[in-house]
Amino acid sequence: MNTQVITIDPQRVDTEKIAKAAEILNKGGLVAFPTETVYGLGANALSPDAAAGIFEAKKRALDDPLIVHIADQKDLDKLVDDVPKIAGIMMEKFWPGPLTVILKKKDIVPDIVTTGLDTVAVRMPDCPIAKELIRLAGFPIAAPSANLFGRPSPTLAEHVLDDLNGAIDAVLDGGKTSIGIESTVVTFTEGKVVVLRPGGTDIDEIRAVIGKEVDICTHGAIIDSSPGKYPSHYSPKAQVVLAENNTSQKENVIEKTEAYVSAGKKVGILSKKEHADSFTDFAVRILGPENDLRSCAAELFHSLRAFDKDGVDIIIAEAVKEEGIGLAIMNRLKKAAG
Ligand code: TXA
Ligand code: MG
């Protein structure tokens, strides 16, 4: 059966249409919906059967836990215990928004959602459609990104359908997601904030709010379940090759491209806006200007998926500055490059 598409004007939150989606969730179904980061694949977070459907539809590994989405701060108390003071400060400042916090779970959260961990990931999205969906459902919504496991996250309903048409009940099409990269995932240990996945909430802003250093968990993930565990995440079908961010980056891109072209490969260049004029002999997609990393983040997954549609074998991606949201962009590009 085809997935039902429910089109919503993002400027006007149509409660009647969103109620249809909430009803599907109420019956234990699966609905993809926009958030400000990427599209999520939602199910009733308090129903083990409904949540199991997410893993099946995405072909997701059964040891990769889900994020639980809430619409109201008071819903948090039902889900978690022992909220550290610093976690409270972070939620106050960054919710609703692209921040996911890992906290000690209560029994009401099914084991399948947390894949047996005693912690649960919680996020309060800022997107009006997502908030209304959670409110109308009347329960928290478990939702990973709405892509097939390992593929780039969807920033359009079309991407969701490319991966999951027929495998899920409905998608709420609310247009392009504004941030375009997933939430920042943080955990708290010994009064410290540890970033498990850089994302839409800028780490510099977190530093400014808590007034101390923030640990960034790089590869050898501090816990088994953290988002660093699956290196093949965010991968388009094409092979991604990174061109380092240095003074000879442009020359380096051309060299690499010519080498792959002579080897008979179809190559696409994911270029900074500032460099695009140098690559006019080749197939180019522009990520965005390097001095506006927010707009680069918004284009990243869309560009990777667009290259797949172009049928390229190799994507030569220009590395960007690893600061602010650039940390999240480079995290995804490095993982896509494997
Ligand atoms: O922006 C986002 O975060 C999107 C939207 C839909 O909210 N969601 C998203 O979900 O990106 P997902 O499942 O693709 O990524 C969530 C990551 C997973 O890699 C998982 O390992 C980590 O969060 N995670 C979930 N629960 C965890 C836990 N209890 N401890 C550590 N990491 C956890
Ligand atoms: Mg994901």
Please tell me what DSSP assigns to residue 16.
Answer: H
What pLDDT, in 10s, does the model give residues 16-64?
Answer: 999 999 999 999 999 999 999 999 999 999 999 999 999 999 999 999 9
Q: Nearest-CA neighbor of 245 among 139, 313, 333?
A: 333
Q: Which of 182, 195, 233, 235 to mutate to test the pocket of ligand 1 (most atoms within 8 A of CB)?
A: 182
Cβ(298)–Cβ(178) below 8 Å: yes
pLDDT at position 338 is 86
Q: Whose CA is nearest to atom 32 of ligand 1?
A: 226
- As a whole number, mean pLDDT of residues 63-71 equals 97
Sign of the CA dihedral 235, 237, 242, 248?
A: negative
- pLDDT range class, residue 230, cuts 50, 70, 90: low
Cβ–ligand 1 contact at 119 (below 6 Å)? yes
Q: At what angle do helices 15-26 and 128-137 cross, to 10 degrees?
A: 50
Distance 266 CA to ligand 1 centre (A): 34
**Residue 222 pLDDT grade (very low, low, confident, very high; cuts 50, 70, 90):** very low
Q: Is the CB of 225 under 6 A from ligand 1?
A: yes
Dump pLDDT digits (tens) for 146-196: 999 989 999 999 999 999 999 999 999 999 999 999 999 999 998 899 999
pLDDT tens for 72-98 read: 999 999 999 999 999 999 999 999 999
Ligand 1 close to Cβ of residue 36 (< 6 A): no
Query: Is 65 touching ligand 1 by the criterion CB < 6 Å?
Result: yes
- Between the CA of 336 and the centroid of ligand 1 the distance, in Å, is 17
Quote the CA–CA distance of 8 and 25 in Å, as a whole number: 17
Distances (CA, A) of 112 to 61, 142, 154, 214: 11, 11, 23, 30
Host H or E run for residue 161 = helix 157-164
Percent of the chain with pLDDT over 90: 90
Question: Atom 12 in ligand 1: which residue has the minimum CA distance?
Answer: 144
pLDDT of the residue at 40: 98
Q: How far apart are CA 173 and CA 179, in angstroms?
A: 16
Atom of ligand 1 nearest to the CA of 121: 26
- For residue 18, the CA-to-ligand 1 centroid distance in Å is 24
35 CB near ligand 1 (under 6 Å): yes
| Ligand 1 geometric centre to CA of 110 (Å) | 16
Q: Which of 111, 168, 225 to mutate to test the pocket of ligand 1 (most atoms within 8 A of CB)?
A: 225
Mean pLDDT, the chain, integer: 94
Using one digit for the tens of pLDDT, what is the confidence trace for 259-305?
Answer: 999 999 999 999 999 999 999 999 999 999 999 999 999 999 999 99
Q: What is the pLDDT of residue 223?
A: 47
| Residue 227 pLDDT exceeds 90 | no
Between the CA of 147 and the centroid of ligand 2 the distance, in Å, is: 7
